[in-house]
Amino acid sequence: MTPLVASVFLLLFSVTEIVSAGRDAIQGNLRLPSEASRFFQKIEDDGLEGTRWAVLVAGSRGFSNYRHQADVCHAYQLLKNGGLKDENIIVFMYDDIAFHEDNPRPGTIINHPDGTDVYKGVPKDYTGENASVENFIAAILGNKNDITGGSGKVVDSDPNDRIFIFYSGHGGPGVLEMPDHSHLFANQLIEVLNKKRATRTYKSLVFYLEACESGSIFEDLLPQGLNIYATTAANPVEDSWATYCPGHSPNFPPEYHTCLGDLYSVSWMEDTEKNNPVAETLQQQYERVKTRTMNGDYKYGSHVMQYGDTDRLGMGLLSVYLGAHLANDNYTFVDRHDDDSLPPPTGVVGQRDADLVYFWDKYLKAPKGSARKLEAQQQLVEIMSHGMHIDQSVKLIGKLLFGTERGPEILVSIRPAGQPLVDDWECLKEMVGTFETHCGKLNQYGMKYMRSFANMCNAGIRTEQLAEASTLACAGIHANV
């Protein structure tokens, strides 16, 4: 298509838009003239009506989780390169990495063993405790009044705008973690997306999600027709994978003890940078990211999934959301079926074990007898004993509630496709709260038991029963340590 034909096509397209806007006008929304002039001005700007917005979230904190903030900073650079403006990019990150004492290159963050700094210029909209569930929800909905702290930036979008949301962090069945350790449950997120849709303040929305069991956030929950297209790093029942890890990746800079990226996240970003977002569709990217993230045979990889209005929106161009990357303008997308354009399968580490890798590598490399070695050792022991404590207490609670025979089986049972994780999300929330009161925080490792708590709800267990069992189980375990 020549540029002229493309403009004519866009113009025709816009006429349909204005006609439909006219219908809105009849219903009392008389903003047509200004909308129209805004539109024509925008065509000159970037060949697209409306504004591109992005919300980027790194869901964790701590140097062992370096990679989530690296993913998000990288995504910021990619969007910025694509022409999105800072005023339209909202960043949630704890921001404890760049100047962390363990960072061998202070003030910088990399997302690839040979990568350059991706931290420079990243807006610090919601950092530290301000990177909360409440602020994330308020930012998506454009509710400035519900924001506490931070920059106050929200997605103040119009009906023609496109929204891109990217989350990278820790999750579990039906849940995502925010850096302040609070939980965002799948039903909450779906409700927010429904609400956003009801305000008619976007044309389409793309959600890229990296977390363990991330498929469980959308599967059987995200309705069709919201003009939302989502892909997730994993299906509802598996871990997602960290990559560019110490000891696993060629050219890995040995001074880093931590994984630098996550497999799905670096896959979509490196794919975008390598190809031309003006010529590559969401569906094409999904296929390529899926191939790379399966990492050979899925043994050390995960199933990338897609949800929502996949048929309709999947045909859309990446550039509609990510912008046009000028450096790549001369390339065209070639849909190759052989894999030689993909990097070979790389060493990866399950997201839930990545913190062990960090402390282990730190321990190995610290000089014998140093304070650093001792500290790393203590942290390793702490993480492993926390994991064992959670494992044991959940197991014991299952036996107390359902009996020795059925308990273990009920805790891990997976409902058939078509049935959500839990019927009563309030119950799940209360169960988790009750457990944490008596047994301590689940943290990133313990989130994998979200399904066990959901199964308790589905089996009709009441929170008082769980409270009783938790008191017993966790008192016993503490006494034994």
Contacts of 231 (CB under 8 A, 6+ apart): 207, 208, 209, 268, 282, 286, 289, 304, 305, 306, 307
Cα–Cα distance measured from residue 90 to residue 328, given in angstroms and rounded to the nearest whole number = 25
Query: For residues 115-154, which are near ligand NAG according to CB under 6 A?
Result: 127-130, 149-150
For residues 127 and 455, which CB has a smaller minimum distance to ligand NAG in the complex? Answer: 127
Q: Which two tokens stand for residue 437?
A: 């009161």
Choose the binding region for ligand NAG from 37-45, 158-166, 258-266, 323-331 (rule: CB under 6 A): 323-331
Beta carbon of residue 73, minimum distance to ligand NAG (angstroms, whole number)? 16
Cα–Cα distance measured from residue 267 to residue 392, given in angstroms and rounded to the nearest whole number = 36
Beta carbon of residue 170, minimum distance to ligand NAG (angstroms, whole number)? 20
For residues 169 and 314, which CB has a smaller minimum distance to ligand NAG in the complex? Answer: 169
Given 330, 340, 464, 480, the residue binding ligand NAG (CB under 6 A) = 330
Query: For residues 351-390, which are near ligand NAG according to CB under 6 A?
Result: none
Q: Which of 59, 80, 56 is nearest to 163 (CA)?
A: 56
Q: What is the DSSP letter of 128?
A: G
Q: Which two tokens stand for residue 44?
A: 């000159």
Extended beta strands in 296-340, E state: 305-308
Would you state the torsion angle of the CA atoms of residues 44, 45, 49, 52, taken in this order, to the nearest 10 degrees?
170
**Full DSSP string of 371-435:** HHHHHHHHHHHHHHHHHHHHHHHHHHHHHHHH-TTTHHHHHH--PPTTS-S-S-HHHHHHHHHHH
Beta carbon of residue 93, minimum distance to ligand NAG (angstroms, whole number)? 10
Binding to ligand NAG by CB under 6 A, coded x per residue (else -) over 56-85, reads ------------------------------
Residue facing ligand NAG at closest CB distance? 128
Extended beta strands in 60-194, E state: 89-92, 162-168, 171-172, 175-177, 183-185
Contacts of 447 (CB under 8 A, 6+ apart): 170, 171, 172, 175, 177, 212
Beta carbon of residue 85, minimum distance to ligand NAG (angstroms, whole number)? 21
Binding to ligand NAG by CB under 6 A, coded x per residue (else -) over 243-282, reads ----------------------------------------
Beta carbons of 119 and 206 less than 8 angstroms apart: no
CA distances from 186 to 93, 192, 278, 337, 438 (A): 20, 10, 32, 35, 24
Given 1, 327, 371, 481, the residue binding ligand NAG (CB under 6 A) = 327
Beta carbon of residue 329, minimum distance to ligand NAG (angstroms, whole number)? 6
For residues 328 and 470, which CB has a smaller minimum distance to ligand NAG in the complex? Answer: 328
**Full DSSP string of 335-365:** --SSSTTSPPP--EEEGGGHHHHHHHHHHHH
For residues 96 and 161, which CB has a smaller minimum distance to ligand NAG in the complex? Answer: 96
For residues 61 and 448, which CB has a smaller minimum distance to ligand NAG in the complex? Answer: 61
Choose the binding region for ligand NAG from 311-319, 322-330, 354-362, 419-427 (rule: CB under 6 A): 322-330
For residues 128 and 440, which CB has a smaller minimum distance to ligand NAG in the complex? Answer: 128
Name the strands in the sheet holding 241-243, side by side, starting at the edge strand that comes first in the sequence: 261-262, 241-243, 348-350
Contacts of 290 (CB under 8 A, 6+ apart): 303, 304
Beta carbon of residue 112, minimum distance to ligand NAG (angstroms, whole number)? 21
Does position 398 bind ligand NAG by CB under 6 A? no
Would you state the torsion angle of the CA atoms of residues 403, 406, 412, 416, taken in this order, to the nearest 10 degrees?
-130
For residues 329 and 382, which CB has a smaller minimum distance to ligand NAG in the complex? Answer: 329
For residues 16 and 330, which CB has a smaller minimum distance to ligand NAG in the complex? Answer: 330
In DSSP terms, 208 is beta-bridged to: 166, 231
Name the strands in the sheet holding 175-177, side by side, starting at the edge strand that comes first in the sequence: 171-172, 175-177, 183-185
Q: Which of 357, 352, 435, 363 is nearest to 387 (CA)?
A: 352
- Residues in contact with ligand NAG, total (CB under 6 A)? 9
Beta carbon of residue 150, minimum distance to ligand NAG (angstroms, whole number)? 5
For residues 86 and 129, which CB has a smaller minimum distance to ligand NAG in the complex? Answer: 129
Residues serving a catalytic function are 170, 212
Beta carbon of residue 327, minimum distance to ligand NAG (angstroms, whole number)? 5
Choose the binding region for ligand NAG from 11-19, 104-112, 327-335, 381-389 (rule: CB under 6 A): 327-335
Beta carbon of residue 127, minimum distance to ligand NAG (angstroms, whole number)? 4
Interface residues with ligand NAG (CB under 6 A)? Answer: 127-130, 149-150, 327, 329-330
